[in-house]
Amino acid sequence: MKISGLLLSVSSFSFLSFLRRAIFYAFFYVYLRTFLGLSNTLSALLGTANLATSTVGQLKLWGPRLNRNPNLAKKYVIRGEIIAGIVYLIAFAGHKILIIVELKFLAALFLITCTSFLEIFWSGSDLGIRHLTAEATVGKNRGRLVGTIDGIGLIGQLLGFLIGGILYQDGFGFFKGDIFYIVVILIFACASVIFIAPYKGKVDDSLILTTGGLKEVLKIPSFGYFIIVLGILTMGISASNQIFLYYVTDPTVLNFSDELLSYLLIFFSFAGGVIAPIGGKLSDLIGRVPIMIISSFCAAFSYFAFFLLGEQPFIIIAVIYVILGASFAVLQSIAFAYSADLLPRELQGTGFGVFNVTLATGWGLAGFLIGGPVSDILIFLGSSNAHAYRISFLVSSIIVIFGMIALISIRRVSLSSQQTSQR
């Protein structure tokens, strides 16, 4: 197996996938909220529905099969991307027709339904690329390599935010189809770079009768506990991700233009792209957990600063958001490297599915269960939009602090184990 060739393919996929996700999702929640008129909580339903179908796909359909046959990784990625491209075109056409006949609410639900359906297959792509990344980064430099791959992806995300800001045009970029068309082209490009990837996984006949199911994965105590901690952290960090978009664009609060929002998202990605490789290298030298603890602290500090400082000029908001972007990028990158360290190869299919679903709980559930309801309830009770958003930031900061404390306990257990083994 040509590791260098596989690294090139995985890195290219990372760049293209982050690019198209940023182009589409940078303003998609704003599109649902403002152009189609959904509430904060209903807008967050998108992530919740996607999470549900992705969970079924990764843990029930694709993960156990990938445990037994690593050669399926490429097939999952290619098939998932192609199906996603086709569904995106259907989603665009259907929702545009509904808008034309003045059924905006149904148009929003149609978009959510389509993107949720495709996650059944797209989750196979997510799982496949995780496996290929783990295979391409085996060795003592895994943290640096994973950080570099994620850094390349975040540069693509930076460009995606810039392009998305140009194309959005107060929602007409989605309505006219420009964003859909460009994203579909990038999706097919993702399938192409993996199609030519020099990888053929070896089938282990001794694993044919094993289930490789969720129970077996969670029987690994260190991995099971880490997943719980990661879930707390991602819920906390992601609970106010969508709320932040409303906070900075709300006419009654900061009232930033689409252009300024694009700049913020660009700074967010640039910070992550620069810091992720550095964080990965440091995790190889001093350990994964200490770097994740530092990242968690920075994320909690960022949200608390948003709560404490309130409405500030663009430059202050941007500096805080840069800190959040860097901490979030490092945490996700090192968390994957740490999971790959913990999981035996025969359980990586289901194990990476659990990891992906855990990260997705932040995007899928946090806004729907925490960020959206907190802000909507406070607004309903008479609070100003600004106050409601700031309270959401405070809640996020508190949750992340709990996750950080749990990470510290992992660190202590790890040090105790090392001391015991030395004796």
Say which CATH number the domain at 33 has. 1.20.1250.20
Q: What percent of the chain has pLDDT over 90?
A: 36
273 in a structural domain: yes
Residue 193 · residue 16 · CB < 8 Å: yes
Q: Which residue has the higher pLDDT, 269 or 8?
A: 8
287 in a structural domain: yes
Averaged confidence pLDDT in the chain: 85
pLDDT tier, 366 (very low <50, low <70, confident <90, very high otherwise): confident
pLDDT tier, 87 (very low <50, low <70, confident <90, very high otherwise): very high
Q: Per-residue pLDDT tens for 95-145?
A: 999 999 989 999 988 998 898 888 888 888 988 998 899 888 877 788 889
206 in a structural domain: no
The parent domain of residue 23 ranges over: 3-201+211-422
113 in a structural domain: yes
Q: Is 46 a residue whose pLDDT tops 80?
A: no
- pLDDT at residue 398, rounded to an integer: 95
Range from 51-55, 210-214, 251-255 carrying the lowest mean pLDDT: 210-214
Q: Is 9 a residue whose pLDDT tops 60?
A: yes
Q: Is 417 a residue whose pLDDT tops 70?
A: no
293 in a structural domain: yes
- pLDDT at residue 213, rounded to an integer: 67
Q: The tokens 């607004």 sit on which residue? A: 379
Q: Per-residue pLDDT tens for 295-309?
A: 999 999 999 999 998
30 in a structural domain: yes
- pLDDT at residue 204, rounded to an integer: 54
- pLDDT at residue 290, rounded to an integer: 93
pLDDT tier, 63 (very low <50, low <70, confident <90, very high otherwise): confident
Task: Count the domains in the chain.
Answer: 1
pLDDT tier, 411 (very low <50, low <70, confident <90, very high otherwise): low
Range from 165-179, 334-348, 364-378, 393-407 carrying the lowest mean pLDDT: 364-378
233 in a structural domain: yes
72 in a structural domain: yes
Range from 33-47, 57-71, 328-342 carrying the lowest mean pLDDT: 33-47
